[in-house]
Each structure stands twice: as structure tokens, then as C-alpha cells.
Structure 1
Amino acid sequence: ETKAKKEITDDEVVDNFLSEIGERGSLFQYLQCANVAVVIGNTLFCHGAVDQNTMKFVPHLQNTKFENPMSKPPPAKLADTVEEWVASLNDFLREGLQDYVKRPHWNGERTSRGGESLMALQNRSAMWGRSIVSNCYGDGGCITTIHATKLRNDPKRLEMERINPLVFEKVSSDPKDPIVSKWLSNCGIQRVIVGHKPTGDCPAVLSSSYSGVEIVSGDTSFSDVSAPDKRGLAVGIVEVVGFSSVDNQLHLRGTLSNGNSYNSKFYRLHSGNKVDESTGDPFLGRHIQPDDDGDDDWWIKVKTEDGHYCLTRGKGRFVEYRHIEKSELLNRF
């Protein structure tokens, strides 16, 4: 039965939500088919950032609750390899769904219910800053910024990490972290593709030239905040193209918020943690040095079909754009 929006009651909305999370609901069935993280060849896919807090960390089903914990919950384990870590996170998802099926309602004391561990998994403070779902790269439309680095490394904030889980909110992870990059590389991971958080009107990338690991943040949900849908004309396509799952390169194409099309290829990554810089555009995914006027903190994101490079800089949700020619980028690294 089809109803007009104004004819739908609050009770019907609630009933719809409850049916969706039931065992026959589409949301529940979607989660049954989903994964927290996936490795395909040399690429790791997950929603949030791989950083020193999230790497190796596997939460414990019994002590992971959707709340601000009074103290830092211990892990179920710290995985040695990316393969073990990913498998354990996906097991955690399955176990959390089974827990929900067994006890979908609060206990008598309203202190615990099934599925609470999965609600916690996507919340930074509930995970004490170790959420592979909501920890994120990205700031101001860029993969990282000077502002993000200052906030992350603020001594007062770092000191509070021991006692207050809320200090992890609004912090952006370091995509260049050498400790994380080394662990990923040692496990055969040369690229990480994530979907969080919004990074302007096209994906934000950290070139593999920095650490050997390419970081790709593909969230474009706030491409054009002036548009009714917050996206406007922008659309982005992220592809990994190559000879095999361990010999390939990142290919970004789509349309920017101003209507310009882009088509950009990055360095080829292949077996043995090798980076082939003879293929792909050497300017993409890189931070440029200030010009003579001190104009700084710009990142090169994509190259448009008309031959210009799209640059961004910003802070938080504010994003500033520039489109320049190749000649203006020379001697800026």
C-alpha cells in the first residue's frame, strides 16, 4: 500500500525500523553479507582509518558496550598480521549479529543487550579511539592538513587520551605514519581505500611516494554544500586497474562540483612493495610547498580533462579550491 508522506504515522515509522533489524529485514541481511574490512591483493578496504590506535586491535565482544567507558577496555587480542586482523574483525561482526539475535532486548537491569558491541564499533569514544569504522583521515577536503596535525599532536589532548575517551572526537589520523605504513607493507598492503570522512568534490589521496602505501579517501558526500543534496554536479569513481590484484594502479575519474571532468592515474604498485613511478602522474596526491607569497597547505588531488590540476586546502568542513597549470607546480616539492 502506497501512502502520502503526511499519512504515515510515527508508529508506522517505528514498526518499519523494527522490521528492518529483524532477521528477515533488509538491513539485518545486509549486515550478514557485509565485512568490517576486506583485503583484495595489495589493497585493504575499510570504512575508517588504519592508524596506531586501530591497527592490530580486535575488540572483545563481552566488554564492548555502546557507552563512554570509565576506563580503556582491553582488546580481545592484537593481531600480528593484516590478514589475521581483518579475519578477526569480521568474526567480531558475525558474533555481534548472533548476540543480537539471541538477546535483542535490554536485560532486567538495562545494562546490556545483544548487538551493543556493533553499535560501539562505529563510535570513537565507545572504542576509546580505536574504531576502524569512524576513525578517519581527511581534513578540509585534503587527505591531511597542517591543522589536523596540530590537533592530533596537541600535548594537552594527548595527555587526556589516558583518561577521557571523548578527546578522540574530531581527530584525523596520520596517513603518513611510518609505523602503520611499515606494518601494512610488511603484510603486503600497498594501498588503503576508505569511505570516511568527506573530502570535498573528489577523492583525496596520499601518494605512495611518501611511505610506499597509497591512502585513498573516497567520501564525496559534501561535494557542494550549496546544492540541495549536498553533492550537486560532483560524482567520483574510484577504480583499481591493472594486470592483477597485486599489480595495479589507482584510477580516479568523474566530475567536479564546477562541472569539469577529471581522469587521473596514480603510480603503479606491484609485488615486492614496489612502486613504478614511470607510470601515473607524479604530481597527484602530493602536498606542495608554499609559493613566494607564502600561499601554503595545498594538496594536488586530480587532473582535469582540460589539463589543469585541481588543488584543495581547508579546515574541517571548509574547503577551498584552485585550478592551475602544470607549469605552476614545478619546483614546488
Structure 2
Amino acid sequence: MATQHPNALTRALAELPGPLPAFGVIHIAIPHTSRFTVVGNHLAQHAELSLVAIGIGVHIQSLPVGSLVGIKALTARFAEGEMRIAAALRELEAHGYLRRAHVRLANGRMATRTVFCNQPGALERAGRVVVAPKVPPAVPEEAPAVPEEPPAPPPAPEPDPVPESHPPVRVPPRTAPKPPRRPLPQPRELTPELRRTASAILADLRSHAKELVLSEDDIEELIPGVAAWLEREVRPDAIRHALTADLPKPPKYPAKIVRHRLTVLLPPPLPGAEELAPAAHRPLVIPLQNCDGCDRAFRSREPGRCRGCRDLAAAA
């Protein structure tokens, strides 16, 4: 049998200061320089979370912003089933690590954002949501005292490490200023006929949707928006359908709903006959270019030299 030589683990244990404990885990702390995540002991040693919940919490905290952390994505990544992963996510949500924030998108719809907080207690005190945790100074957190195990020796001091992750992204608070509202469409010329037809369409909306009862001031303000639709040759019944279909139940602000739909659903102008003509029937027009050699005009899609100058150059 070959003689066994001391390996790296044996040498590392021999270099630890003080006597080694007779039982229990022994820590060999080697500082990380890349690909690491700072995890608090309040999560890693949580007294009420299950081991699956702690593991999933550490995994989510190590992912970059924008990663999928739903039940389907985690089930595809780990061997645990959907029921165990769903229960673990509920545990993290109950203890404040996992949160779901409702935000409004640019198109006006509401969406649910999944937010993971690395320090739920600090979140409540600060009153803000931090999506990506900020890297604290490289000072080891003291573990709770255990009778049979001495604390791990602190690592050698070195510059603060920078993890390979995206910078902190902060969700704006509810008091943040909202983006400016898009202006109501305006016609090129608000003629008396357009004004009369637009006013009639707005006043008649309550006949097709009883929720859309507009005041005279609302109608006067919204007339230019409907006139812009009419100017683009949209039929009154098509305008009525766009303003009354799939209304929220109940609509709290009818005038705001009408204004929003007139603005975001405005169709483009109808194309002319030339745009609708088949490409094969359109005459092919090649622009004139000035020759770079003799300055004479010739037809070509790209600037350059005429055929005569090219032939002379080829002959030379």
C-alpha cells in the first residue's frame, strides 16, 4: 500500500489557531474574490423557516435582477416538487423575505413584481423596497454562541469585494412623481361640422354604456379628441365601439376612461392610393447622380462614376 501524504485539508487544519474541538463542525474561512453572495445569519439560521425555504431563499438572493423565481422555474431547477417549493415560497413570504408589489405599466395595466428583500427588518424601518441587496463591508457576522463549538476565526482584512451582480435597483415609492399625461389628440382644423358630430357622439355614449355619463364640461374638453378620429375617416360607430367595449366594472372616472382611450387607441391616417398600389405596378424611378470623374449626370441608385468613366478606367 502506498504511503498516504498530508493533503491540503490536513495542512489547513494544522494552521488553524487554538485547539480543535473534539466534535462538531470546523470552519475553514477562505475569503471569496468572485461569484459570491452575502447572506445574513437571520436567514441561514432562521429558527422558523424550513430547510427548503432557507435554501430557496439563499438561491433567490444569489440570482441577478430579472431572473425567473416562480414555482415552474424553481421546479425545473431543483429536484423538489411543486408542492414543496410552493410551500417554501409561502414561508418566505410570511416572514417578509419574499414580497409581491403591484405596479402600473406604461400601457395602464397593472402587473405584479416579485421582490426579494435580504433584510426584512431593515426594510420596515427604512420604508423602502430594495430589489438587489447592497454589499456590506467585508466584516464577518458573529454566529450565535454554541457551547461545544468555538467561533470561526475572522478572515484576513482585504478590500471590500464586489459581487458579480447588477447594481441595486430601487422601486420608486408611491409618492414618486408620475410621468406626464399624453396630450389629447387634436385635429388639423376643428370645423363646426366636426365639433357638432363629435359632441353628438360623446353625448350619446350613455345610450350604449350607462356607466359613461359625461358632463357638459367633459364633452367640451373631449371634443377635439373625437374630432381627430373623425378627421382620420373613422366611422362614428367604430369610435363608439372603441370607447364603450370592455369597460372596467364599475368605472370610477368615465371622462378619464374616454380620454385615455381616445389618446392611446388613435388609429393612423388612412393610406393613399399610391401606398396601396401593388409594387409591380409602380413605375421604377432611378435618381440622377453626378459623375465623380466627368461631372456629367447619369442614373444610378448609388453615387459614383458613369459608364464611360468606368470603361476608361478599366481600359487604362
For this structure pair, what is the TM-score category when the shorter chain's length is used for normalisation? under 0.3
Q: In proportion to residue count, which structure has more helix?
A: 2
- Give the TM-score of the pair, scaled to structure 1: 0.19
Larger relative contact order, structure 1 or 2 (CA cutoff 8 Å, min sep 6)? 1
Q: In proportion to residue count, which structure has more strand?
A: 1
